[in-house]
Structure 1
């Protein structure tokens, strides 16, 4: 039955009418106020009532009202718990398939893995209504004890940041259920708290480190197979050298650089600087479009890739890049555990800050969604602080000599 406005519109007075919902399901008629003058919202509430009555024809009038207002009676909550209601796996699948939540984004596969890991600990058939504070604690403890895949050291577990990424999936699902008023889910959830984590990676390159590891990358093409022989080696280290140069000059993520298209590159012309246009949401981690300035060194490295179809690094892949980097790091003698490909992004950010670039500009350059994320780079300037201390010492020596 169509929703209808109730009330009288008097001349000169504000329209305070609201839509009434009248439905009939399995011989039962229900009349309830929608509490809104928004017809679209009223129709959505009407469909929720019809769905709830089909699922539970004996649903009381009080529980119908609670469903419309977004509140809930103890009886209604007990009924959901008794019937089981929506399970954890069903809730995660609903988010993964929703175009307004996780469907179609670049991190979809990562979110799916995180959801499956949560289901392993709590049980995919667990009703949402039964997830309380103790269940969240069980999940947090289970994630913190979870072995790190491919760990080099025995007993190595997930980092605090990775645990928080998993917990964020649960928190997001809870929020979506509340915001979208899922009729088959509880109207209250336990709070999901993040664990403490290390404040960003503590490593970024100085000029000497950069020269050492970049030269080690190039030298990989000069090495020869050992005495055991084997298949001919793919001599592509020089291509990865160009990739790493672009990463440290632009601050892009590895995935962003590998996915670059020639149509996204606007090379310098005359006095106008070049620009890298990152607009494809499916290839961006945060989905935020941005333009990355192209330095002269970056432009030269990209131009050296001319001839590669589609994009400058479309012939490379993530796994091979990680292997090249690991071998070069060992050859260069850099033992810091945070000397990874992503440290090139940190290096770019640190150099921008060291050059006096405003923190807000660095945020836009890197494509961070929050200034707090960019702020972690400010504590990495230990070498700059040491240089400042040396300047103070030289000033004191000069003052002493003048006396």
Structure 2
């Protein structure tokens, strides 16, 4: 970069100072020298600092586009983080990452709260912003510091487990009500009932189930592709006879191995369908969601005698500590069953 001499001024006491416009600011900075050669050199270094600053000061939209290519692009559901960051930009503007402060974070959370978003939903918005900060600091090395992204403390365990009665009621509701796709096309009532049963028997995540293809059925096994798995690691899940027969039935008439088994199903419409079912069945006070089917599958595996490493592999958990939390749920269910039995027979648990 060539030094622009017109940005060099001289004070009344003979010292030179830099005077130039940077973005919407006027920069006035003493160069602490009366020697013009030294002043030109210092001006050059100062202008170079601002030039470098331009190269590393990503705006939020630019940072997300980069994060999308490196992280979110391969996600089974890449639309949600896009929508969340777009919303955040609408609240605080397309601000430079280095200029985002605690005040901006509070503004985001307060705005989302006023719009009726739950603490859980707000936390998901903030989690995507946190990912961008982490990438900018640790991988791109364009930030040295960033504000701490605080999250709301969520009430409840959010690991709702279906009992047999709720399972029957939910399955029956899905079976009776015909949902619509985004373009208004009616889907048969079995569409969501089938989907529920597959997730319940396999422990697949919502996005993994939506992305299932005909070619993923391998006899009594189901292949979960790496590009659809949260950990980006492929795995094989055993199929119960009921789940196997259901998936084979759904694949009938679909000749292409890449054809979707649940064609037309989307994450947002599936979420809406579950909310409608919860309200109709008076379960809207619970944390019941599609992920609850995965929780239920995990706890039933443990109760059936599966060891924790097997369950970890089955669910595709990268960290076994994630799987271990289900042990507490199983223990809690057993304690509750014992207490109910003792109450029924008028006994009490020994201290």
Kept in 1, the 8 Å contact 2:92–2:108? The answer is yes
**For 2:146 and 2:267, how far apart are their aligned partners in 1?**
39
Greater displacement, 329-338 / 209-218: 329-338
Q: 1:86 to 1:339 in 2, by over 3 A?
A: closer
1:187 aligned residue: 144
Which residue, 58, 80, 87 being the options, matches 2:59? 87
Q: How does 1:87-236 map to 2 (within 5 A)?
A: 87-96=59-68, 98=69, 100-124=70-94, 126-143=95-112, 145-147=113-115, 156-160=116-120, 162-182=121-141, 185-201=142-158, 203-220=160-177, 234=186, 236=188
Shift of 1:392: 5.1
Shift of 1:389: 1.9
**For 2:103 and 2:135, how far apart are their aligned partners in 1?**
21
Aligned-residue RMSD, C-alpha: 3.9
Is 1:287 equivalent to 2:236 in the alignment?
A: no
- 3-state SS in 1 of match to 2:288: coil
TM-score, normalised to structure 1, is 0.62
Is 1:355 equivalent to 2:300 in the alignment?
A: no
Shift of 1:294: 1.0
Q: Which runs of 5+ in 1 are unaligned?
A: 1-24, 28-55, 65-75, 148-155, 222-232, 268-273
TM-score, normalised to structure 2, is 0.70
Q: Which runs of 5+ in 2 are unaligned?
A: 4-41, 179-184
Shift of 1:296: 1.9
Q: 1:326 to 1:237 in 2, by over 3 A?
A: farther
Q: 1:300 to 1:332 in 2, by over 3 A?
A: farther
Shift of 1:236: 1.0
Q: How does 1:3-402 map to 2 (within 5 A)?
A: 26=2, 58-59=44-45, 85-96=57-68, 98=69, 100-124=70-94, 126-143=95-112, 145-147=113-115, 156-160=116-120, 162-182=121-141, 185-201=142-158, 203-220=160-177, 234=186, 236-267=188-219, 274-281=220-227, 283-309=228-254, 310-314=259-263, 316-318=265-267, 321=270, 325=274, 334=283, 336-381=285-330, 382-391=332-341
**For 2:83 and 2:287, how far apart are their aligned partners in 1?**
24
Q: 1:239 to 1:179 in 2, by over 3 A?
A: closer
Kept in 2, the 8 Å contact 1:243–1:257? The answer is yes
Shift of 1:276: 1.0
Q: 1:193 to 1:298 in 2, by over 3 A?
A: same
**For 2:58 and 2:264, how far apart are their aligned partners in 1?**
45
Kept in 2, the 8 Å contact 1:266–1:275? The answer is yes
Shift of 1:237: 1.0
- 3-state SS in 1 of match to 2:223: strand
**For 1:311 and 1:295, how far apart are their aligned partners in 2?**
20
**For 1:158 and 1:398, how far apart are their aligned partners in 2?**
40
What per-residue deviation string (whole Å, max 9, x for no partner) do you get for residues 21-69 of structure 1? xxxx659xxxxxxxxxxxxxxxxxxxxxxxxxxxx98236xx99xxxxx
- 3-state SS in 1 of match to 2:124: helix
**For 1:372 and 1:355, how far apart are their aligned partners in 2?**
20
Shift of 1:353: 2.6
Aligned residues: 302
Kept in 2, the 8 Å contact 1:81–1:127? The answer is no
